[in-house]
A and B are shown apart, each in its own frame.
Chain A
Amino acid sequence: MTHDLLSELFQFTNYGELLVLVRNSIIAGAALGIVGGLIGVLVMSRDLAFAVHGVSELSFAGAAAGLLLGVGVVSGALFGSLVAAVLIGFLGSRARDRNSAIAVLMPFGLGLGILCLSLYSGRSANKFGLLTGQIVAVDDPRLHSMLVISTIVVLGLLLAWRPLMFTSLDAEVASARGLPRLGLSMYFMVLLGLATAVSVQIVGSLLVLSVLVTPAAAALRVSRSPVLVPVLSVAFAVTAMVGGIMLALGGNIPISPFVTTISFLIYVVCRVIGRFRFRS
């Protein structure tokens, strides 16, 4: 029984051949790790973890609609998360408003997505994948679109890194200094929407937080340096993504349990280390 479960989880026969098959997924996973690790730092400093979850559910709805209408999962996911990100950016400049706006949007998105999926008559693996992630579905055109979007997000973040940090952490002075609060907030939400759309396609909408939030939260447990935190966060996210894909390769289990478990374990270890480091 134990043996059955283990072999269900891990099967490493013909591993080398499998690896070639999921080459695209590993590249996409690494790219997503870089994006997630980086944007996570800002998600944490802007207190937007819940917003990430909200955006990912609407991204799921978009992807499901894309599947149903034949527009494609990528454009559907993009459309859904951008709409959600912009809505949340507009509706919630204050944290309290924002959280209720998200709580209203999220179940609506999830419901819409489930409706689209139940109407969809194609392969069922695709359906489940949008919620819990998949590794085999990354073909070349999809990989390219993901890499392009990831590059846009990373560049967009780096170029506005200082103003985004400034408005997140010291809003009063930043706005006295002439930084447009709403403009920067919308700019960030669009980048967040793009990052979410990429994540949904790999880890699935239910588990986006494990890539976009957990690694940064872990990094913040062990460091306070503005340089080290993003670097560690990226390293954690890439480890979770690539490690998760490699482990998932063997069994019939979707990729997400592996990614979320690695991500979670990193967080736990960082919390323990942090306890010792910042004991004061």
Chain B
Amino acid sequence: MTPATHDDANAVLTFRDAGIRFGNRTLWSGLDLILNRGEFVAILGPNGSGKTSLLRTVLGQLPLSRGTLSFLGRPVRHGDRRIGYIPQQRIADRGTPVRAKELVGFGIDGHRFGLPLPSRTRRARVTEALEAVGAGAWASRSIGTMSGGEQQRVRIAQALVGRPDLLLCDEPLSSLDLLHQREISHLLDRSRRERNLGLLMITHDINPVLTMVDRVVYVAAGQVRVGTVDEVLTTEVLSDLYQTTVEVLRVQGRIVVAGVPNDDASGHLGADDHHVQAPL
């Protein structure tokens, strides 16, 4: 898969023969991926396969052990503000209640030193960002009192308020019910189209975003496969990856993967369908 020059101009993120190794253990290697503007790529794979580590390389928090990684044509650097990030962890209110507008405000100037002076443009940007994700009415609510779906909307507003070129999401749909999974994935999908940004999302379940993703990155057993859903999520490709027979089934427009070794049914693709796996 050699990228055309046209792709290069559009590329947000480029991995070339990338890999991570901790000591003697190769987490994964051989990743070649060009993520273009407006493209939605999902990262799949079992727990511990190195999906979050992959995101951390993009954030500049973890160096590659081999290969190269560039963001908008330059090597990635830690703290690049053209990257929006939605972490997996939920926010718990500790001593101080954080309101939605403060959290979004951090996305604008939370990193900045100097006297924090109130500014009208800043307030307007926060309001605009919250309204864009349908959270305008919650500006003054504490994050700790929000449901998972509501928190996730505020998170998206926070990530988008900095007008990023790339949006990284770590399991944004976990701990949401089906309705909210649909809402949040549509919101992310719409944002990447409207803003023409690259969207890289870790998910343990492909189904909520099945009709939206352009390509998937499947990480397992130290290896990586990149391609469209139809190219990668097949019995042949996954069996080859896991070195054992893995069955990929399509059941009523959903994808179910069965027979993954050591599958703990909680951290894997199609995990909520694990009852289907049992008879196999």
A interface majority secondary structure:
helix
Contact with B along A41-56 (1 / 0, CB 8 A): 1011111010000000
Would you give the 0/1 interface string for B232-269, flagging 1 where the beta carbon is closer than 8 Å to chain A?
00000000000000000000000000000000000000
B5 within 8 A of A: no
Report B105 CB to chain A, min CB distance, Å.
8
Q: Is the CB of A161 within 8 A of B116?
A: yes
B158 within 8 A of A: yes
For residue A177, CB closer than 8 A to chain B, the reply is yes
A140 within 8 A of B: no
| Chain B neighbourhood of A173, CB < 8 A | 85, 87, 106-107, 110, 158
Which B residue's beta carbon lies closest to that of A176? B85
Residues of A with C-beta under 8 A to B89 = 172
Please encode chain A, from 172 to 198, with 1 for each CB lying within 8 Å of some chain B CB and 0 for all others.
Answer: 111111110000000000000000000
A177 CB contact (under 8 Å) in B81, B98, B114, B140: B81
The interface residues of chain B lying within 8 Å CB-to-CB of A226 are: 102
**C-alpha gap A37/B58 in the complex (Å):** 40
A158 at interface by CB-CB < 8 Å: yes
Give the chain B neighbours of A86 by CB distance below 8 A. Answer: none
Could you give, for residues 126-154 of chain B, a 1 whenever the CB lies within 8 Å of some chain A CB and a 0 otherwise?
00000000000000101001000000000
Q: Are A162 and B118 in contact (CB under 8 A)?
A: no
Contact indicator A162/B98 (Cβ below 8 Å) = no
Q: Is the CB of B113 within 8 A of A160?
A: yes
Contact among A158, A178, A179, A220 with B95 in the assembled complex (CB-CB below 8 Å): A220
A1 at the interface (CB under 8 A from B): no
Chain A residues, Cβ within 8 Å of B67: none
A227 touches B118 (CB 8 A): yes
**Given the known A-B contacts A177-B110, A178-B79, are A170 and B95 also in contact in the complex, defined by CB atoms under 8 Å?**
no
Interface size class of A (residues with CB under 8 A): 20 to 34
Query: Of the candidates A179, A224, A227, which one forms a contact with B142 in the assembled complex, judged by CB atoms under 8 Å apart?
Result: A224
Query: Within 8 Å CB of A44, what residues of B?
Result: 95-96
User: With A169-B98, A176-B59 in contact, do A163 and B85 touch (Cβ < 8 Å)?
Assistant: no
Given known pairs A158-B115, A226-B102, the reply for A170 and B97 (CB within 8 Å) is no
A165 sits at the interface (CB 8 A): yes
* A170 partner, pick from B98, B99, B109, beta carbons under 8 A: B98
- Per-residue interface assignment for chain B, residues 36 to 79, with 1 indicating a CB less than 8 Å from any chain A CB and 0 otherwise: 00000000000000000000000111000000000000000011
Question: Which residues of chain B come closer than 8 Å to A165, judged between CB atoms?
Answer: 102, 106, 110
| A166 interface hit (Cβ, 8 Å) | yes
Smallest beta-carbon distance A73→chain B, Å: 31
Write out, one digit per residue, whether chain A residues 215-234 have a CB within 8 A of any chain B CB (1) or not (0).
00100100010110100000
B89, B96, B116, most chain A CB atoms within 10 A:
B96
**B87 adjacent to A162 (CB under 8 Å):** no
**Which of A168, A179, A229, A280 is B111 in contact with, Cβ under 8 Å?**
A179
In-complex Cβ contact of B110 among A174, A217, A227 (8 A): A174
Residue B25 lies at the interface, judged by CB distance under 8 Å to chain A? no
Measured CB to CB, the nearest residue on chain A to B56 is A176
Partner of A220, one of B59, B96, B111: B96
B29 to chain A, nearest CB (A): 24
In the complex, A20 has a CB within 8 A of chain B: no
Whether A45 contacts B113 by the Cβ 8 Å rule is no
> For window 12-65 of chain A, which residues contact chain B by CB distance below 8 Å?
41, 43-47, 49
| Chain B hits for A163, CB < 8 A | 110-113
Tell me, rounded to whole Å, the shortest Cβ–Cβ distance linking A149 to chain B: 20
A179–B80 CA distance with the chains assembled, in angstroms: 11
Q: Check A6 for interface membership: any CB of B closer than 8 A.
A: no
In the complex, what residues of A have CB within 8 A of residue B110's CB? 162-163, 165-166, 170, 173-174, 177, 179
B212 → A minimal CB distance (Å): 24
Q: Whose C-beta in chain B lies nearest to the C-beta of A177?
A: B111
Which residues of the other chain, B, contact A220 by a CB distance below 8 angstroms?
95-97
Within 8 Å CB of A169, what residues of B? 91, 94, 96, 98, 102-103, 106
A125 interface residue (CB < 8 Å to B): no
Q: In whole angstroms, how far apart are the Cα atoms of A228 and B108 in the complex? A: 21
CA gap between A224 and B110 in the complex, in Å: 18
User: Hey, which chain B residues are within 8 Å of A174, CB to CB?
Assistant: 106, 110-111
How long is the Cα–Cα vector from A163 to B60 in the complex, in angstroms?
A: 19
A143-160 Cβ-contact flags toward B at 8 Å (1 or 0) = 000000000000000111
**C-alpha gap A49/B61 in the complex (Å):** 30
Q: How far is the CB of B95 from chain A (nearest CB, A)?
A: 4
- Please name all residues of chain A whose beta carbon is closer than 8 Å to the beta carbon of B145 when the two chains form the complex: 280
A-B contact pairs, 8 of them (CB 8 A): A158-B115, A159-B114, A162-B106, A166-B111, A173-B106, A178-B60, A179-B111, A226-B102
Give me 16 other A-B pairs in contact (C-beta within 8 A), A173-B107, A173-B158, A226-B102 excluded.
A45-B94, A47-B95, A49-B95, A162-B106, A165-B102, A165-B110, A166-B110, A166-B111, A168-B96, A169-B102, A170-B91, A172-B85, A173-B85, A173-B106, A176-B61, A224-B97
